[in-house]
């Protein structure tokens, strides 16, 4: 049963993570186009600066505003709960955003793959940010009408 649950979470985590990286790239491209530097996008410092700032906002500021949830978790209909099953606490939100996602954002997403490897090894499918904040990602419970 654990394998079934784990295999359902991996595609959602990948989709959410890749969406966040693509969104950062789109924001960086829009900013670069508005600057009209004439250098294109690569290796334009304006693009990479905008990409990094957008990625930091997406990975650190958004979880602070949405109770530990990134944009990827929001669009894949997942939820973040404490390991004991209760609502996530504020210190867990801070540690998840800063210690968990800060590393991913600063490494331009490379740490995301380390986090994915950790989630494959963990029986509950927890990645780096879940380990560091003592939380778990699970599908949202469907509300009955």
Quote the strand ranges of the chain, DSSP E.
78-82, 135-139
Lowest mean pLDDT among 6-15, 89-98, 116-125: 6-15
Q: What is the pLDDT of residue 8?
A: 56
Q: Do 137 and 125 meet the contact criterion of CB atoms below 8 Å apart? A: yes
Using DSSP, state whether 62 is helix, strand or coil: helix
Is 131 a residue whose pLDDT tops 80?
Answer: yes
Using DSSP, state whether 87 is helix, strand or coil: strand
pTM: 0.75
Other C-beta atoms within 10 Å of 34: how many?
Answer: 10
Q: What is the pLDDT of residue 122?
A: 84
Q: What is the pLDDT of residue 42?
A: 58
| Residue 27 banded pLDDT, cuts 50, 70, 90 | very high
């Amino acid at each position: 049963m654990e394998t079934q649950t784990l295999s359902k979470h991996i595609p959602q985590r990948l989709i959410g993570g890749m969406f966040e990286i693509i969104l950062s790239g789109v924001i960086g491209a829009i900013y670069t186009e508005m600057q009209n530097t004439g250098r294109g996008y690569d290796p334009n410092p304006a693009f990479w600066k905008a990409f990094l700032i957008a990625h930091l906002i997406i990975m650190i500021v958004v979880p602070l505003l949405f109770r530990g949830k990134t944009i990827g978790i929001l669009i894949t209909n997942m939820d973040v709960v404490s390991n004991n099953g209760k609502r996530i606490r504020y210190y867990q939100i801070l540690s998840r955003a800063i210690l968990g996602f800060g590393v991913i954002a600063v490494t331009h997403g490379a740490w995301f793959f380390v986090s994915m490897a950790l989630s494959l090894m963990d029986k509950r499918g927890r990645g780096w940010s879940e380990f560091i904040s003592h939380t778990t990602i699970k599908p949202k419970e469907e509300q009955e009408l």
